[in-house]
Structure 1
Amino acid sequence: MRRKTMWFWVIVLILVGGIVYGLSFWQTSSGVKPPLPTVKVGSVTAEVKQSTYCWANGDEAVCEDHALPEPDDLQIVTVEPGATIDVSFHEAPDNETFHQIVDGELIPAERIVPSEPGVYLFETGGDWANGDSRYVFGVEVTE
């Protein structure tokens, strides 16, 4: 009987430790990561990926640096040529940026999809009281 009791407490401790670790990990990772914006390109919602950011929440702060993506890094959505790109942030940033990614470079861009067929990558972001954050997404214009 003692052996069963010992194993019972070992299992209980493992489960409790796992739950505590899981809750602390969830709180840490979600508490200091900026929320993703919603990006609509014409009538299509683009998948947005978190890029480089420094974000603070209370006494915690996290910075992550990400390289500019390649088309294979993103879920590309098909859009109409010349579609308007609308970015809705969780709250308006103090300043906002919008770029097209061309050959690994950030080029200031208008929020309009080019008319020529092809795959286009974009980077947007801004600065808030909690920090700064950049986001990336991609679209494809077909003939």
Structure 2
Amino acid sequence: MRLQNISLAMVITLIVFIIGCNSLTESSINQKTTPPRPVITYEGNVIPVAQGSYGWNHVQADYPSPTIIAKNMEAVILKPGAKLKISFSDPPNDISVYQWIDDPFNFVKYNIENDTITVPEKEGLYIFEIKGLWKDGDSSYVLKVDIKNLPL
């Protein structure tokens, strides 16, 4: 009788272990390894962004500073004061925007209202970093714009 109880306990333990390993594997498979990408629009046109550093579901990816990433990007030409709408398929819990200034370590927090940023009125080249924070991690993205007074 005692041998039957031990055998039954071992079988139950084995079944619980197999079920636990299977559900761990399924949840790992269902987790995305990359964060959502933003869609940035201006007057209906999508503006390209580059991926920056991120930490997502136990995956850490380190990229250079936004000023270095921007060196390989083509700037999008915009009018002074243009309003850019930022959206994600999976909206972040928190979003912040930074304007990077020449140097790889010089940046200032930039104002964002209702998921929209207004680019400067002054002509010039600007580099922005958009940072999102989700329950699964965080990510940054780089945007490069050239503000020009264009004739109508």
Aligned length: 111
Report the Cα offset of residue 50 of structure 1. 0.7
Once the two structures are TM-superposed, the CA of residue 43 in structure 1 deviates from its matched residue by 4.5
Q: Is the 8 A contact 1:81 1:115 kept in 2?
A: yes
Q: How does 1:1-143 map to 2 (within 5 A)?
A: 31-56=32-57, 61-70=58-67, 71-103=70-102, 104=104, 105-110=106-111, 111-143=117-149
Which deviates the most, 38-47 or 87-96?
38-47
What CA RMSD, in Å, does the superposition of the two structures yield over aligned residues?
2.0
Which blocks of at least 5 consecutive residues in structure 1 are unaligned? 1-27
- Alpha-carbon distance between aligned partners in 1 of 2:100 and 2:130, rounded to the nearest angstrom: 10
Using the size of structure 2 for normalisation, the TM-score is 0.65
Residue identity (%)? 30
Contact 1:44 1:79 in 2 (8 A): no
Q: 1:101 and 1:65 mapped to 2: Cα distance? A: 18
- How far is 1:53 from its partner? 0.2
Runs of 4+ in 1 over 3 A off after TM superposition: 41-44
Q: Could you list the runs of 5+ residues in structure 2 that have no partner in the other structure?
A: 1-28, 112-116
TM-score normalised to the size of structure 1?
Answer: 0.69
Contact 2:66–2:129, Cα closer than 8 Å, also in 1: no
Q: Which has the larger radius of gyration?
A: 2
2:96–2:132 CA contact under 8 A, matched in 1 = yes
Deviation, 1:42, is 4.3
Once the 2 structures are TM-superposed, how far is the Cα of residue 109 of structure 1 from its aligned partner? 0.9
